[in-house]
Chain A
Amino acid sequence: MADFEPTIIAFVCNWCTYTAADLAGTARLGYPANVRLIRVMCTGMVDPKYVIKALLEGADAVLISGCHPGDCHYINGNFKARRRIKLLKEILSRFGFGEERLRLTWIGASDGIQFAETIHEMVTQIKTLGPSEAKATMII
C-alpha cells in the first residue's frame, strides 16, 4: 500500500481553520496535497449530508475543523457541529467506517503550524488504514 495516496475532504471554517491553512501557506509550511479544503462559513453549517456524500463517493477520510470552543464567530456553531459529528460517528461506524475516517478538530486562525501537523498526522493515519471500502464497493 506504499503508493496509496488518500483523498481527504476537509470542511474548514472561514474564520479559524481556513485562516490557519492560509497562514500555513504564507509561512511556507508544507503539508500533503492529499487534502481538499472546502471553505464553509462555520462548522455548524456542515450538513451531515456533505460528510456522508463525501465518504460514499470514495473520500478516504473527512475532516471538519473550526474554531476552538468559545471562539466561534457565530457563538456556538462549533458546539452544534460537535453533536452532529458525534451522531455521524455513531451511525457511520455501524457500516464499517472506522472512527479515523471522520475527524473533528479545533484549529484557531493563528495555528498554522498545528494545521500543517494535523494534516500530516491524518494522512499518515489514513495511509496506514488503507483506502476506504466505498471506493471499491459503491457504484452509488
Chain B
Amino acid sequence: MKTAKINVKDGDLLTALRDFFQSILQLEDISAILVPQHLNNKNVVMPTLVTEPKHLNGTDPLAPVFPLNAAKIVSRLTRKPMGAKVAVVLRPCEIRAFVELVKLKQGRIEEVVVVGIDCIGAFRNGDYHQIAGQEGEFTSRFYKNVLSGKKGAPEGFDLAPACKACENPVPNGADILIGLFGVDTDNQLLIQARTATGEALYENLDLSDTQEPPERLAAVESLVAERTAYRDKIFAETAEATNSLEKLNTYFAECVNCYNCRVACPVCYCKECVFVTDVFNHEPVQYLRWANRKGVIKMPTDTIFYHITRMAHMSMACVGCGQCTNACPNNIPVMEMFRTVSYRAQEAFGYEAGRSIEEEPPLSIFREDELTEVVGIGKVV
C-alpha cells in the first residue's frame, strides 16, 4: 500500500486538506471534486461540487456535523456516465452507503475516486447548531480536542449516538485514505492509496513515500474497541426495549408517519416508496371498517407496518450512519432500532453492508443448497 505524509502547519488541518484537495483538482484527469464546505458565513457545512481550485477556501470535511449522507449525492452524480472523473470526499459511512448503492445499481464507481478521511464523528444536527452557532473556528477547536484525546464537546453535549456506536471510523473502502488516528496531526497527515484507482491518482500527485506510523494500528484498535462496546450496549438495550409487539408500539409511540427516516436514509433508494402511493391512500370508509372491528384504531394507521416493512427493505444495506435519527422530528431513537435489527439480519446472512463492492446483496442472490433449516413446519420450540 502506497503511503505518504503531507505536512501540516501549526496543526491547521483544514488548510492542509484544502491544499491537498486543490492538488487533486489540478490533476489533468480530475474534472471536479465533491467536498464539504462552509457556506454563507454560517457554520453550516454542505457538500459542494467544485471545478475551480480557488473555490475550495471553505473546505471543512472535519466539521462535526452531518447534514445528509452524501452517498445519495454521489449516486446522483454517477447514475449515468458523466464523461469525466470526479473525486469525492466522504465520511466512512458515506463510502459504505455508496458501495451498497452501487451494488443496487444506483450509482457507478467507474468515474469516481473516493477520498476518505478518518472520521472523528459528528453531533446531531440540532446539537451542532446550538454548539457551533455563529462562532468561527469551531471545527479546528473540535478536532484538536478530539485528536489530543480530550472531549470534543462542551458540557452537556455528546457526539451523535450513531457516531459513538460506529465501529468503522477508518474509511477502508476509500481509494485514497487520509489518516488522522495515531498520526502526529500537529505536523502531518497520512495519505494512503488503497486501490488501483487510488494508486493511479497517488502516482500523479507529488508525494514522497513513507511508512505508516507504528502507533496508528493501536490507536485505531482502541477506538474501534470503545465504539464496539458502546454499540453492543445499544444493541442489548434496544433489543430489550422492543422484544414484544407492545414494547415496539411504545418505542414508536411518537411516530407520526412523516417518513423522514426513509427520506434521510441513504440506502432507501426507491423513487416512489409504496407507503406514499395509492396503496396506502385508503378509502375513507376503510378506516371506519377497521375502527369498527376493534372499536378503536390509532391514526395515522400503518405505523408499525411501515417500520417493519422498511426494515425488511433496508436492513441488508443499513450502514448505521444515523441520518434516520437526525431526521426524526419527534426524537425517536430510530437509528438504534434499525441498526440493531440490521446488524443481526446481516449477521444471519454473513453479510456486512458496505464492506466490499464484490459481495452480492444477500437478497439479490440464492444458492440451491442452503437454508434448509428455514423450510418445514418443525416443532413448537
Using a CB–CB distance below 8 Å, which chain A residues touch chain B? 48-49, 52-53, 56, 63, 69-70, 76, 79-80, 82-92, 94-100, 103-106, 118, 121-122, 125, 128-129, 133-134, 137-140
A48-B312, A49-B312, A87-B363 known, 15 other contacts, Cβ within 8 Å: A52-B309, A52-B312, A63-B377, A69-B368, A86-B349, A87-B349, A90-B341, A91-B345, A94-B340, A96-B248, A122-B377, A128-B380, A137-B244, A138-B245, A140-B304
Q: How far is the CA of A79 from the CA of B345 in the complex (A)?
A: 18
Q: Let me know if A86 and B245 touch, CB within 8 A.
A: no
> In the complex, which residue of chain B has the Cβ closest to the Cβ of A52?
B308
**B274 on the interface (CB 8 Å rule)?**
yes
Q: Let me know if B378 and A138 touch, CB within 8 A.
A: no
Q: List 29 A-B contacts (CB under 8 A).
A: A49-B274, A52-B312, A56-B304, A56-B308, A79-B368, A80-B366, A82-B366, A83-B349, A86-B349, A87-B312, A87-B316, A87-B362, A87-B363, A91-B312, A94-B344, A95-B242, A95-B243, A99-B378, A100-B378, A100-B381, A104-B375, A122-B377, A128-B380, A129-B380, A133-B244, A137-B246, A139-B296, A139-B298, A140-B303
Using a CB–CB distance below 8 Å, which chain B residues touch chain A? 239, 242-246, 248-249, 274, 290, 294, 296-298, 301-305, 308-309, 311-313, 315-316, 340-341, 344-345, 348-349, 362-363, 366-368, 370-371, 374-381
Q: Let me know if A95 and B376 touch, CB within 8 A.
A: no
> In the complex, which residue of chain A has the Cβ closest to the Cβ of B347?
A90
> In the complex, which residue of chain A has the Cβ closest to the Cβ of B348?
A90
Task: Say whether, besides A79-B366, A80-B366, A140-B301, A105 and B374 are in contact (CB < 8 Å).
Answer: no
Task: Say whether, besides A83-B371, A91-B308, A105-B376, A98 and B381 are in contact (CB < 8 Å).
Answer: yes
Q: Which residues of B contact A104 (CB under 8 A)?
A: 374-376
Task: Say whether, besides A80-B366, A133-B245, A125 and B374 are in contact (CB < 8 Å).
Answer: no
Q: Let me know if A103 and B377 touch, CB within 8 A.
A: yes
Instruction: Give chain A nearest CB distance to B381 CB in angstroms.
Output: 6
Q: Which residues of A contact B375 (CB under 8 A)?
A: 82, 104-106
> In the complex, which residue of chain B has the Cβ closest to the Cβ of A68?
B375
- Choose from A82, A90, A122, A125 the contact partner of B345 (Cβ within 8 Å): A90
Instruction: Give chain B nearest CB distance to A86 CB in angstroms.
Output: 5
Q: Which residues of B contact A99 (CB under 8 A)?
A: 378, 381
Q: Let me know if A134 and B309 touch, CB within 8 A.
A: no
Q: How far is the CA of A69 from the CA of B308 in the complex (A)?
A: 28
Q: Let me know if B377 and A94 touch, CB within 8 A.
A: no
Task: Say whether, besides A49-B274, A79-B368, A95-B242, A138 and B341 are in contact (CB < 8 Å).
Answer: no
